[in-house]
Amino acid sequence: GGDFRPRAVAAWARSKLRAVRCRALCWPPAGRQEDEEDLSYRFATREIQHVCVERARVAMKIIQCAVSCRTAAILVVRFVACQPGSKVVDEGYLVGYLMQLLVYPTTFVIWKWPRVLNPDTLDLIFCVAHLWMVPFQLTATTPQEFALVGRFTGIWCLAFAAFCNKLAVVLFANLLITLCRMSVYANTYSADLALPSDILMGELMSCVMITALAHRFHSMSFELVHRKILDHAVRQESGAMTRLLDLMTDVVVEMNADLRIMHPSPKLAAMLTLGTSLSVVDMRLDDFMPISSDQERFHTLANGLLRDESAALPSVMHTTLRGPHNSLLQVEILCAIFPGIDGAKRLLAG
């Protein structure tokens, strides 16, 4: 009968904490229960999709600027280098130029209308954008323009790879562009440019570098988003536990793995000394226990909670603290653990 109340309070506190954590993390109310790591991974995957949408909007603006520069460069080269009586634009490459000019209004529409650009259409837009690059390769009629198109293609591929987080799709699209450029080289410029092996190696290296950079960029982004979600969940869990203990007890202190108090506690100082001048930071709670058996029981309880790899239930113990003027205070301490942001376990005592 005497031990029933502390155990009941501990069980009730644990159930309340789980309820708060479920609401904070949007835990599924029914069905198969998932651990926090799987749930945070799902949230990070969903969040990175929205991040990719924002990057896609930025990529559209970059492509608009690149198309403007590319069009201006073509017009300047054609009009300046054009001989009197010759055609400024060959009919055979007119389709390629028109496709290039259509990129500007298309990217503007995608950037302006949120319904067009969303997580469900990212892969489709990425694939269409790379298919759109095929006619661009046909606009090069000289070795200089072939090199200029290659530079523009690299900017295009990098800008669009920034919002596609699927490695296979990025690799396939860049291989398609590489094969297209090699086909244009083999059919048109083999007599004017360097050896085919040099061009082939350069194109393949560009393909591999763009794919590797995109993969690394998305991996780092996912890790940052995942870490942000985990940190937010830990803060909410620790805040819920602290608030719950604060409602149930008079004083709440947070201790590290060495059982030292981590933050100032004016309430604890007032309870022990009837004043707030005592700094309890880096002090041990068992230093205020005059009975050695209480110190041993507190050490056993706290170390057991900190070393337990499973989700240990909060525990309650009765002890004696040294109060003002060497008086003895009979208190009950409710101890619970929670993970810190740095991954280390923390002990809350109320």
Hey, what domains does the chain have and what are their CATH numbers? Answer: 36-229 (no CATH), 249-349 (3.30.450.20)
Structure confidence at residue 26 as a pLDDT band (50, 70, 90): very low
19 Cβ contact list (under 8 Å, min separation 6) = none
Percent of the chain with pLDDT over 70: 72
pLDDT tens across 166-203, in order? 888 888 888 888 888 887 777 766 555 555 677 778 88
Quick one: CA torsion of 50, 55, 56, 62, rounded to 10 degrees? 170
Q: What pLDDT, on the 0 to 100 scale, is given for residue 246?
A: 76
Structure confidence at residue 261 as a pLDDT band (50, 70, 90): confident
Q: What pLDDT, on the 0 to 100 scale, is given for residue 33?
A: 40
Compute the distance between CA of residue 99 and CA of residue 104 in angstroms, rounded to an integer: 10
Q: What pLDDT, on the 0 to 100 scale, is given for residue 163?
A: 82
Percent of the chain with pLDDT over 90: 0
Q: What pLDDT, on the 0 to 100 scale, is given for residue 123?
A: 82
Statement: residue 214 has pLDDT above 80: yes
Averaged pLDDT for residues 140-150: 74
pLDDT tens across 97-141, in order? 666 667 777 777 777 776 777 788 888 888 888 887 777 777 776
Statement: residue 1 has pLDDT above 50: no
Statement: residue 82 has pLDDT above 70: no
